[in-house]
Amino acid sequence: MIAAPIAPFPAPNLVSLGDLSPDELRLVLDTALEIKANQTAYNDLLRGKRLAMVFEKESLRTRFTFDIGMQDLGGSATFLDLSNGARMGARESVRDMAKNLERWTHAIVARTYRHRTVVELAQNADVPVVNGLSELLHPCQALADTMTLIEHWGDVKGRKLVFIGDGNNTCHSLITAATKLGMDVTVCAPEGYEPDAEIERAAVASAQETGGSFTLETDPIVAVKGAHAVYTDVWASMGQEEETEERAAVFSDYAVNEQLMEYTDHAKFMHCLPAHRGHEVSRGVIDGPNSIVFDIAENRLHAQKAVLAMLLGGEGQS
């Protein structure tokens, strides 16, 4: 198998997909599709390269897929588990952590509470930093989400994607990516739980550039009419556990179930996982024929391999 040349990543770090132009985002997704199609061709690309993974929060998918992805490309990964409450910046400054990690490793993946922590790591480390989820963004998730839609549909331009629920990290990165790909994006959230205003403004600007659209809607039935994909996520994210009950009441009309899906255009169902069946999504929908949640989970691996390959093994990198 002949490996196609890997382009360098279009930015020094992957903190936000907002840092990429539509063409740059498409390049990352095309690289992910190429790496998935020719998996054995890149086995040696990152030989000798080491990845540091520093996580303040629990993880199944992100942890496994970065670790396995690094191994698949010939490199190695070392995990520091801070999910017992020891946040970055407590024992020593985030800057000092960055200055240590850069001496031993070639890249850092961080999962943090404060978004600022990922930004500070990226500002201080001389090696690339990848956001493995912060309270604001989840860019690796959105790469896998949009990659999966491209696999299912080919061209995603003009397709209607609706995110229902909390305007959270997953939602932010999804709307950033989908509007850059020319999709018609609607977010349906209860009042007070809408996405970040600045991220919304950027999504509107991207949609104008790519011929897509971005709208907000509070009524789930109105929102999903004609949708080609419906996405939801947990109502209480990591760090919001004490709000679980209050949020369950606020979001009770925003559950994705078979009745709601009837209003769509045979929509695919999407979720970043972990999911709570009987809360944000019914069993029948997430385990039904239109659910693509495990395709997305698989693609976390391929999308992140593309990010690692481009950051560390792209042409011109040593």
- For residue 237, state whether it binds ligand NVA (rule: CB under 6 A): yes
Residue 171 catalytic? Answer: no
> Which tokens is 117 given?
């922590």
Residue 71: CB minimum distance to ligand NVA, A: 22
Residues within window 169-208 making contact with ligand NVA, judged by CB under 6 A: 169-170
Choose among ligand NVA, ligand CP, none what residue 60 binds, the Cβ cut-off being 5 to 8 Å by kind. Answer: ligand CP
Among 98, 177, 223, 272, binds ligand CP (CB under 6 A): 272
- For residue 291, state whether it binds ligand NVA (rule: CB under 6 A): no
Q: What are the φ/ψ torsions at residue 255 (nearest 5 degrees)?
A: -70, 145
d(CA 276, CA 282): 8
Residues sharing a CB contact under 8 Å with residue 196, sequence separation 6 or more, in sequence order:
136, 167, 172
Residue 300 catalytic? Answer: yes
Q: Which string of DSSP letters, residue by residue, matches 56-118?
A: SS--SHHHHHHHHHHHHTT-EEEEEE-TTS--TTTSS-HHHHHHHHHHH-SEEEEE-SSHHHH
Residue 201 catalytic? Answer: no
Residue 205: CB minimum distance to ligand CP, A: 27
Of the pair 28, 275, the CB lying nearest ligand CP is at: 275
- For residue 248, state whether it binds ligand NVA (rule: CB under 6 A): no
Residue 138 catalytic? Answer: yes
Among 59, 173, 206, 232, binds ligand CP (CB under 6 A): 59
Residue 58: CB minimum distance to ligand NVA, A: 9
For 85, 125, 130, the CA distances from 133, given in Å and listed in that order, are 16, 18, 9
Q: Which stretch binds ligand CP (CB under 6 A): 55-63, 112-120, 206-214, 218-226?
A: 55-63
Name the burial class of residue 48, with classes exposed (0-12), middle (13-18) and buried (19+) by CB atoms within 10 angstroms of its CB: exposed
Residue 272 catalytic? Answer: yes
Query: Is residue 225 helix, strand or coil?
Result: coil
> Which tokens is 309 given?
């390959």
Catalytic option among 111, 159, 172, 279: 111
Q: What is the DSSP letter of 317?
A: -
Q: What would the x/- binding string for ligand CP be over residues 138 to 157, using CB under 6 A? A: ---x----------------
Give the interface with ligand CP as residue ranges (CB under 6 A). 59-62, 133, 141, 272-273
Residues in touch with ligand NVA (CB under 6 A): 133, 168-170, 233-234, 237-238, 272
